[in-house]
């Protein structure tokens, strides 16, 4: 039997991880709140470590002599020093395809919530002002130009979903080469970064966080957007410069934003974004659907099997600088 550890604080997902564990893998659970001495003893024989939404310091990873792979439950890998871990001969893999639908649906939900003023509408019903907060300024998603930054697993699903709301032009920007057949299937058009910002009614970002994407949505980027445009971010908070976003929203450079992520998480309660009428926020839960968790666990166990048997995992990271 081979040792696979699900590294997570006790919650209902731990029970799911244990219930889905295949018979041919020796799967255990380790609580990260234990002392390092306790964890090191429990992790001594670990070959595959499944990080349940957590990170582990590089210094600790190097003390696990049998470790062959870090398997993330998330799509992002910004909390792992991938090059350093790979230098130790340890694979690193993510769960991007398994998380994609949950995040894409959440992005679409933020678009709808902002465009249709769901939150002010709810408040109006609750406090008796009825339609006053939403008598004007309600817009549709259908028929708009949707700009997708990052046409990976999530971006592609978003492209398909927005078409369900009626005719729309979907444009995208991605430094990677997207096959022509994928563009044709999704009916999307590749444009430059600046053209996307200038042309889009809705800009939604779906990129990994690394040096080239950190702060890519800054004051200049927001200044290029239409004043009527909205900004959606469900990937990583540092992809947008928060101070610049706040200024753009206050100055009317863009109309509104829907955010699932922040530069600092949990974000401080005095963050100006939390009190702005033209901003909808959620607490980094776009990828938290129960279906996603089950898909990600099953994929993680399949990947563990591949690595333990001498193969390479799916979902390996391209090392980005």
Over residues 129-152, the pLDDT tens digits come to 998 888 899 999 999 999 999 999
Do 195 and 231 lie in one domain? The reply is yes
Please tell me whether residues 259 and 298 are part of one structural domain.
no
Catalytic residue among 13, 173, 236, 255: 236
Report pLDDT for 167. 86
Note the pLDDT of residue 318.
60
**pLDDT confidence bin for 280, thresholds 50/70/90:** very high
Residue 134 and residue 61 share a domain: no
Active site residue 173: no
117 in a structural domain: yes
- Asked if residue 168 and residue 32 are part of one domain, the reply reads no
The parent domain of residue 50 ranges over 3-97+289-308
Q: For the chain, how many structural domains are there in total?
A: 2
Asked whether residue 300 is assigned to any structural domain, the reply reads: yes
Examine residue 191 and state whether it is found in any structural domain, yes or no: yes
Together in a domain, 12 and 89 = yes
Measured between alpha carbons, how far is residue 280 from residues 4, 109, 175, 237 in Å? 39, 10, 29, 14
Asked whether residue 118 falls in the same domain as residue 35, the answer is: no
Same domain, 119 and 230: yes
Please state, rounded to an integer, the average pLDDT across all residues of the chain.
Answer: 94
| pLDDT number for residue 134 | 87
Q: Label residue 11 by pLDDT band (50, 70, 90).
A: confident
Asked whether residue 242 falls in the same domain as residue 111, the answer is: yes
- Rounded average pLDDT over 213-219: 98
Residue 313 lies in a domain: no
88/115 same-domain check = no
Residues 172 and 228 in one domain: yes
Decide if 45 is inside a domain. yes
Averaged pLDDT for residues 160-168: 92
Task: Look at residue 18 and tell me if it is in a domain.
Answer: yes
Residue 321 lies in a domain: no
- Say which CATH number the domain at 181 has: 3.40.50.720
- The answer to whether residues 243 and 111 belong to one domain is yes
Q: Could you tell me if 202 and 266 lie in one domain?
A: yes
Tell me the pTM.
0.93
Annotated catalytic residue within 13, 101, 284, 292: 284
- Is 135 in the active site? no
Q: State yes or no: is 116 an active-site residue.
A: no
Q: Which of 132, 194, 265, 290 is catalytic?
A: 265
Question: pLDDT tens digits for 34-68?
Answer: 999 999 999 999 999 999 877 888 999 999 999 99
Residue 226 counted as domain residue: yes
């Amino acid at each position: 039997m081979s040792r696979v550890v699900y590294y997570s604080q006790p919650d209902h997902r731990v029970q799911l991880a244990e219930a889905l564990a295949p018979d041919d893998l020796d799967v255990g659970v380790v609580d990260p709140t234990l002392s390092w001495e306790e964890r090191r003893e429990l992790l001594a024989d670990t070959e595959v470590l499944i990080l349940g939404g957590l990170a582990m310091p590089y210094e600790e990873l190097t003390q696990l002599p049998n470790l062959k792979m870090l398997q993330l439950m998330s799509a992002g890998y910004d909390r792992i020093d991938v090059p350093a871990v790979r230098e130790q001969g340890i694979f690193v893999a993510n769960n991007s395809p398994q998380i994609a639908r949950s995040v894409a649906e959440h992005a679409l939900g933020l678009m709808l919530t902002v465009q249709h003023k769901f939150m002010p509408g709810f408040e109006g019903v609750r406090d008796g002002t009825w339609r006053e907060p939403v008598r004007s300024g309600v817009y549709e998603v259908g028929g708009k130009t949707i700009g997708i930054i990052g046409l990976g697993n999530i971006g592609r699903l978003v492209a398909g979903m927005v078409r369900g709301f009626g005719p729309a032009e979907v444009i995208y920007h991605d430094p990677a080469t997207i096959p022509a057949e994928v563009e044709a299937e999704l009916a999307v058009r590749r444009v430059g970064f600046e053209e996307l910002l200038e042309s889009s009614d809705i800009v939604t970002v779906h990129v990994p966080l690394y040096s080239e994407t950190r702060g890519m949505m800054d004051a200049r980027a927001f200044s290029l957007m239409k004043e009527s445009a909205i900004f959606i971010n469900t990937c990583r908070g540092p992809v947008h410069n928060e101070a610049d976003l706040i200024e753009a929203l206050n100055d009317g450079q863009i109309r509104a934003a829907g955010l699932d992520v922040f530069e600092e998480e949990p974000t401080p309660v005095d963050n100006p974004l939390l009190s702005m009428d033209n901003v909808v926020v959620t607490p980094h839960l776009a990828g938290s659907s129960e279906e996603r968790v089950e898909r990600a666990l099953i994929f993680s166990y399949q990947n563990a099997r591949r690595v333990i048997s001498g193969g390479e995992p799916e979902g390996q990271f391209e090392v980005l600088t």
